[in-house]
Structure 1
């Protein structure tokens, strides 16, 4: 019996040792993926993998035909065209974007990604290419003219979005006013708008670029209204791994070139018309 117990104990110790080793290997792989400068490898293979939420109108979304289009799609392609590199766009769970990046599943997060101190701890950012802000969208019939008018009412927000972070980081501005002090979270803004139209939520905290484009293309656009609160404006930038210093220089240089040669203005006009945007 003692021999059997000793043998079982030995097996358990060996298995624990293997698990620890494998865990360590996984951490090392992630660490290497996060610290390597991958530009030469990407240049050699001829394409870069960009992660996105393909329902984020107008930054990157699917048309009814399934074709991927959007402001960031055009901008990313224009930047990498300067270097003779193609782009493979990969749809991801937006709440896991930084994890996908650090694991090496994707090379970039380029999809209306807001630069902030919290994200800068784990992700490197390019220069800002577009300014954004959070707005409260509601139906006019609900008479939501200020954040105070959301007192006791249900608010929607996308999981993992900059709107959700703004809500959590500045609770006195809006979160503490809404029903149960807790928003309803959605995977996509499309689903959030469906619930807004159905009356299941009374307001939706959302990026102004999405709100303006979505409402403009709705048949009943006059039924909506946008309310601005006091959340700070945001900087849209490209997210990349900390080790990709060459990538950062190349993207920044590309954005500068596109602004100088007028390409950025053309993309602005294509997606926002005469609406003034700040780059």
Structure 2
């Protein structure tokens, strides 16, 4: 009888804890959906951007440790218009939405793809850049189409739009691949690709273009568009931050009009790839 009573007490405690945690999560989500934090951002002259600091050329660290990149320049330029300092916080990319909801960061600004699944919990700015998921292989592997990945191993980044596309649209690549390996960063994935531990890498075209361009033998890689639709890069924020969204969209338009955006595009891509003036 005592054992039965202890089990009931334990079950009651576990149930209570679960309900408490659920209520806490619901409360946090409700605040994220309703609270406009712009007055606090203005008060402290500070906004926190979450990023994966190995995502070249959007946001990454040089050998010296200095944080640089397309999104770094763009975020600073936008908030300079409002006299606000941008602090960049390195995060686990697979936890980005949780960090945003919990208030650890104010924005996800790091080659972040806008899609219907993410729009259910995150508010997005206007599109400022186009991207596409591509397959990168070593030319020596002889993989010149998606079907040649049959029975082979593919690398993907955990929590990325590429991984979501891979899972949601199996007709393009998943039906051929035998195994997948998930990486926290594309740097690690390229190391394994170069070593032959994986035979293909599904990756953002902006990253692939920049990375391969800076390799000793850029001609050793093959980049292939295999059917995945183009993606929109946008800034992610909490749904309650309606003023912040307006300020970012206005800032992107100003930078497009005064030529700053064109200079940033030229610096990182050598051409104008922005859609922020729409």
Q: TM-score, normalised by structure 2?
A: 0.92
Structure 2, unaligned runs of 5 or more: none
Match among 208, 220, 224 for residue 223 of structure 1:
220
Quote the offset at 1:17 in angstroms: 5.1
Normalising by structure 1, what TM-score? 0.92
Q: Indicate yes or no: 2:257 matched with 1:260.
A: yes
Deviations 1:124-164 (A, max 9, x none): 00000000001111111111111111111111110111110
* CA deviation vs aligned residue, 1:217-259 (integer Å, no higher than 9, x gap): 1111111120111100000000000000001100000000000
**Counterpart position of 2:56:** 57
Q: Which of residues 189, 194, 198 in structure 2 aligns to 1:197?
A: 194
In structure 2, the partner of 1:150 is 149
Q: Which residue of 1 aligns with 2:129?
A: 130
* Contact preservation (8 Å) 1:34, 1:103: no
Q: Distance in 2 between matches of 1:149 and 1:114?
A: 27
Secondary structure at the counterpart of residue 175 of structure 1? coil
Secondary structure of residue in 2 paired with 1:112: coil
Q: How is 1:6-155 mapped onto 2 (pairs within 5 angstroms)?
A: 20-21=19-20, 23-155=22-154
| Alpha-carbon shift at residue 15 of structure 1 (Å) | 8.5
Query: 1:125, 1:20 → 2: CA distance?
Result: 31
The 1:149–1:251 alpha-carbon spacing in structure 2 relative to 1, beyond 3 Å, is same
CA contact 1:39–1:246 (8 Å) conserved in 2: yes
Structure 1: gaps of 5 or more residues: none
Counterparts of 1:75 and 1:61, CA distance in 2: 14
Give 1:239's aligned residue: 236
Structure 1 residue aligned with 2:181: 184
State the partner residue of 1:165. 164
**Runs of 4+ off more than 2 Å:** 5-27, 276-279
Deviation at 1:193, TM superposition (A): 0.1
Task: After TM superposition, give the deviation of residue 32 of structure 1 in Å.
Answer: 1.3
Q: Distance in 1 between matches of 2:107 and 2:166?
A: 26
| Structure 1 CA distance for aligned equivalents of residues 216 and 197 of structure 2 | 20
Number of residue pairs the alignment of both structures matches = 274
